[in-house]
Amino acid sequence: MKKRKLERLRLLAEVVLPAVKPEEFNLDVWKSIRPDGTEADAIGHATSYEPFAIAGLELAKMGDTGLFYPIFDGLSGLEAVKAFFDLTNGEACWLFCPAWHLSREKTQVNEVIERIESLLDWEQNRCEDEEPPVYKPLW
């Protein structure tokens, strides 16, 4: 895992996500602005973190829907997330896709933080030639 990947995921887990109020977190939307409030998933909140914004992680608006999606380096959606954090498809989905989380209730921000920490721990403690885990949906 590249140093940038480790550092960006660590910042997301240690700085960005702990500051998110439960009522502002929703894993089902990148970001949603409605009259009754704003919700975003981990990536939606990450785009508000200045170092990530300076590095190019941004949100683009989906017409007049009040919904937004991530963009980075000419990519959008999950592809932008994978490129920004240097993740495989399995890693990105395991961390950030709603269908890959145990609770089909409302996933809490702490669940995402725990998964990021688990991935970081594995990366720091693995043998050099060890194959990465296979990440699969939980359904």
127-130 long-range contacts, CB within 8 A, separation 24+: none
What integer pLDDT is reported at residue 72 of this predicted model? 97
Instruction: Kindly list the domain boundaries of the chain, sorted by start residue.
Output: 3-125
pLDDT for residue 48 is more than 90? yes
DSSP per-residue string spanning 56-100: T-EEEE-TTSSEEEEEETTEETHHHHHHHHT--HHHHHHHH-GGG
pLDDT for residue 45 is more than 90? yes
Distance of CA 122 to the CA centre of its chain: 18
Model pLDDT for residues 66-88, shown as the tens digit of each residue: 899 999 999 999 999 999 999 98
pLDDT confidence band for 18 (50 / 70 / 90)? very high
What integer pLDDT is reported at residue 138 of this predicted model? 47
Model pLDDT for residues 86-118, shown as the tens digit of each residue: 998 888 988 888 776 665 556 688 889 998 998
